[in-house]
Structure 1
Amino acid sequence: MVRTSLAVLVIDENRIRASVIEAGLREAGHQRVTVIHDVSGIARRIAEIEPDVIVIDLENPNRDMLENMFQLSRAVKRPIAMFVDRSDQASIEAAVDAGVSAYVVDGLRQERVKPILDMAISRFNAFSRMARELEEVRGELENRKVIDRAKGILMKSRGLSEEAAYTLLRKTAMNQNRKISDIAQSLVTAAGLLGPAEDE
């Protein structure tokens, strides 16, 4: 994705501060900038606009406003840079937990917009990559457990060694053009259905 082609949404109720952010974005080469001053119905507007990045400026946020923005951050799954004039430790921790990519306290200046936006995108991409990798590892672990259960079923029902049971699973998967884990899951499910009623 070319950085200059990003669609950037700026959410700011203060028109003067929004113009500072917009100027910083345009100076950095971002021409697809949309500014929203009214936060009512913001989730719907985000769905309509489909921005690549969101910049939120909260001049003097209260707890409710911060919590609403943090909920928004959890829901949109996009890089978010948030500018606030003041904050406390609890708000900073809540921002991190909500997935805000850059939480900047008392730092709204035109020349800082681009580097902060770049950092927000980089952090978001890094966290997204880690989340995907974690999900893949979890999936692989689940697949391994299912394959081990299927091997156990084959070893018990057919008197096979562990290696022979795995070879049979692999051969069946290749013959059916399916994943070994899918074959294993089918076997485990079938064994559960065919198993003795007293085991339940």
Structure 2
Amino acid sequence: MTRRFSLLRTVVVASADDSASVLRTRLLDAGCEVLATLAPDAALSGHLARLRPALVVLDAASDARSLPALVAGAGGAARIPVVVFTDDDSEPSIEAAMAAGVSAYVVAGMQSVRLRAVLQVALARFRHEQKLHAELSDARHKLAGRKVIDRAKGILMARHKLTEDQAYQKLRTMAMSKNLKLEDLAQRLLDVEDLLG
């Protein structure tokens, strides 16, 4: 008996019924919970929002250039890992799929013995990319916060003839006394400065 993927709620997206049926059967054999088989059409995003799958498996047959972007975009803000099975090994199609955020692009490789491993690699890659995106977002947020604090220090240094360290200490003391984050206090100072001209 096949061990089930933990909470791997899967949606199959396919244009042709026969290939969708084969793919669905193989996913079930691999231990996936197949929630639905959907067509790649305008209603796809609504279906994905309602079903909230952990994985989307796309049978792109030979038209793999535009479908991965459609499926990846259909997930909206809630990014979903997408695995593409296709016969299209053209470089433009592969590049388009990677640009769309596809987690795995498998050409002529839907053998049952490999399916579980392909899905596991796709999920691991997706989690890794999500972690990198979160780290990048956090770094950008910290950098933006640092710039706000530096601008606020500059205002204090100019207005009160303080050194950089004195301006930072003044901001820090004021933030602590008002129970605010340093960045939030600095932003308030910048807002007041903009208001007063």
TM-score where L is the length of structure 1: 0.87
Residue 94 of structure 1: aligned partner: 96
Structure 2 unaligned spans of 5+: none
Distance 1:138 1:166, change over 3 A: same
Residue 20 of structure 2: aligned partner: 18
Aligned residue runs from structure 1 range 61-140, under 5 A: 61=63, 66-76=65-75, 77-140=79-142
Provide the secondary structure at the position in 1 that maps to 2:152: helix
Q: How many angstroms does 1:173 deviate by?
A: 1.4
Residue 59 of structure 2: aligned partner: 57
Q: Which amino acid aligns with 1:25?
A: L
The CA deviation string for residues 166-197 of structure 1, in whole angstroms up to 9 with x for no partner, is: 111111111222210111011011112213xx
Over the aligned positions, Cα root-mean-square deviation in angstroms equals 1.8
Number of corresponding residues: 190
Structure 1 window deviating more from structure 2 (167-176 vs 95-104): it is 167-176
Distance 1:72 1:11, change over 3 A: closer
Q: Which amino acid aligns with 2:68?
A: M
Aligned residue runs from structure 1 range 9-48, under 5 A: 9-30=11-32, 32-40=33-41, 41-48=43-50
Q: How many angstroms does 1:20 deviate by?
A: 3.3
TM-score where L is the length of structure 2: 0.88
More helix by share: 1
Residue 163 of structure 1: aligned partner: 165
In structure 1, C-alpha distance between the alignment counterparts of 2:146 and 2:166, rounded to whole Å:
16
Provide the secondary structure at the position in 2 that maps to 1:5: coil
Distance 1:137 1:127, change over 3 A: same
In structure 2, C-alpha distance between the alignment counterparts of 1:37 and 1:178, rounded to whole Å:
49
Distance 1:24 1:68, change over 3 A: closer
Conservation of the 8 A alpha-carbon contact between 1:84 and 1:105: yes
In structure 2, C-alpha distance between the alignment counterparts of 1:68 and 1:11, rounded to whole Å:
10
